[in-house]
């Protein structure tokens, strides 16, 4: 029988087997980039507002401090590279996979992530304020001090990830699950009232959960 409370898994990106190599010079604000592989490009500080990238691979691309506001990624694989301090408010990502990407301090407020998989990514100090996440999986990710204030999470799974000192104030969770995650110092912990967790994880996180619910632990 299908478990109606378990998160639905993300759908994988649909990327051509052999996308054509691309030149970083092709990237510009509001440009449309389709079926390419962009490898090792240094795009630090680039202004790419409104760019649309589909059915492509970004391999080791440095987008640190770039501007990607209102950009759209659809059927894209991002392998390595840096998005540290990127400004990408309103970013739209559908069927994307990020592997080993550094997103420290990334501004992703109001972003929409659907069918997204993030593996071994670093999102410490990142902002996902009022973002919408649907069918998203975080595996082995670091989200220390990540700001999820007011975010909407539906069918989101966190596996072997750290949410230490993250802020969940006003966030909503539906069909979400946490497994083997670090929750020390989590703010807004009461917002987790509907999530799924293994019993062992609940016991390990008891002090954090109790503090968030105002429960006094006594000997």
- Count of domains for the chain: 1
Asked if the structure places residue 66 within a domain, the reply is yes
CB atoms within 10 A of CB 102: 19
| Confidence at residue 2, expressed as pLDDT on a 0 to 100 scale | 64
Task: Give dist(CA 57, CA 16) in Å, integer.
Answer: 9
Name residue, tokens 């954090």.
208
Asked if the structure places residue 152 within a domain, the reply is yes
Asked if the structure places residue 107 within a domain, the reply is yes
Domain CATH number, residue 124? 2.160.20.80
| Confidence at residue 48, expressed as pLDDT on a 0 to 100 scale | 96
Q: What is the 8-class DSSP label of residue 159? A: E
In terms of residue numbers, what domain contains 162? 44-213
| Confidence at residue 26, expressed as pLDDT on a 0 to 100 scale | 84
Asked if the structure places residue 144 within a domain, the reply is yes
Task: Give dist(CA 95, CA 137) in Å, integer.
Answer: 11
For the stretch 84-129, pLDDT in tens is 999 999 999 999 999 999 999 999 999 999 999 999 999 999 999 9
| Confidence at residue 1, expressed as pLDDT on a 0 to 100 scale | 53
Distances (CA, A) of 216 to 2, 3, 188: 38, 34, 17
Task: Give dist(CA 55, CA 124) in Å, integer.
Answer: 28
pTM of the model: 0.94
Phi, psi of 98 (to 5 degrees): -115, 125
């Amino acid at each position: 029988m299908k478990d109606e409370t378990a998160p639905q898994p993300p759908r994988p990106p649909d990327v051509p087997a052999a996308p054509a190599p691309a030149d970083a010079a092709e990237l510009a604000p509001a440009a449309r980039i389709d079926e390419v592989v962009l490898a090792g490009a240094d795009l630090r500080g680039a202004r790419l507002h409104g760019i649309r990238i589909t059915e492509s691979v970004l391999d080791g691309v440095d987008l640190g401090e770039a501007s990607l506001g209102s950009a759209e990624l659809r059927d894209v694989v991002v392998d390595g590279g840096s998005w540290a301090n990127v400004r990408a408010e309103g970013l739209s990502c559908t069927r994307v996979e990020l592997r080993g990407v550094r997103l420290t301090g990334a501004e992703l407020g109001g972003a929409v992530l659907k069918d997204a998989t993030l593996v071994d990514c670093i999102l410490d100090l990142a902002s996902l304020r009022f973002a919408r996440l649907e069918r998203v999986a975080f595996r082995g990710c670091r989200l220390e001090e990540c700001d999820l204030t007011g975010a909407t999470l539906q069918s989101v799974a966190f596996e072997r990830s750290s949410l230490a000192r993250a802020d969940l104030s006003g966030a909503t969770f539906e069909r979400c699950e946490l497994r083997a995650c670090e929750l020390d110092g989590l703010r807004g912990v009461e917002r987790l009232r509907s999530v799924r967790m293994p019993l062992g994880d609940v016991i390990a996180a008891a002090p954090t959960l109790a503090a968030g619910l105002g429960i006094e632990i006594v000997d």
